[in-house]
Amino acid sequence: MKLLQIDSSITGESSVSRPLTEKVVAKLVAADPGAEVIKRDLAAAPLPHLDLASFPGGEGDASAASEAILAEFLAADVVVIGAPMYNFTVPSQLKAWIDRIVIPGRTFRYGPEGVTGLVAGKRIIVVVSRGNFYGPGAPAAAFEHLETLLGGLFGFLGATTEFVIAEGVRAGPDHLTAALDSAHQAIDRLAA
């Protein structure tokens, strides 16, 4: 198994999402000790904004660097993504990575019947951490643009997404504890 771990939190030691992505990866590796794990830390090594020169499949160093990101994603059997909510959606570091992997002809294709995703079978596990509550009925539910974005886009690419969610982590110590308990239980429930 080839496993790609993507982290995007900028909060360093106090990150909620990073220990959770580590735990997911540790669980999967425990079940498959021969797994090859590639870790990409988008906060430590940010990707620049996508522009014409950096579009995968083109010429030049910037395009080659994007092509390497895309190839890494395509080669992975399992992708574990740490996705903290910053200003209601993914960190811009993670958006820059997304811009390298949603590529026509490579991860989806346009056709007369619409769009076909090309990464069916790839396992996607997203660890979400967010300060507030966004579930059904929550006052801020309409501001949830992270889970919807990632679930939608990996579905667009043909994969289904498994979510591990820690929410309400900034709502006080009791809510943080409950959020972590819930996320750890969700990890325990993940298939190995």
Ligand X SMILES: Cc1cc2nc3c(=O)[nH]c(=O)nc-3n(C[C@H](O)[C@H](O)[C@H](O)COP(=O)(O)O)c2cc1C
Residues at the interface with ligand X (CB under 6 A): 9, 11, 15-18, 84-88, 129-132, 169-170
Cβ proximity to ligand X: between 85 and 119 the closer is 85
Q: Residues near 77 by Cβ (< 8 Å), separated by ≥ 6?
A: 1, 2, 3, 122, 123
SS3 79: strand
CB of 52 to ligand X, least distance (A): 29
Residue 125 pairs with which residues in a beta bridge? 80, 162
- Least separation, in Å, of the C-beta of 129 and ligand X? 4
Residue 100 or residue 130: which is nearer to ligand X going by CB?
Answer: 130
DSSP state of 104: B
Torsions phi, psi of 51, nearest 5? -140, 180
CB of 143 to ligand X, least distance (A): 7
Amino acid at the residue 82: G
* Dist CA 92 CA 46 (whole Å): 9
CB 45 → ligand X: shortest distance, Å?
A: 17
- Pick between residue 62 and residue 171 the one whose CB is nearest to ligand X: 171
Cβ proximity to ligand X: between 17 and 161 the closer is 17
Distance from C-alpha of 93 to C-alpha of 41, rounded to nearest angstrom: 9
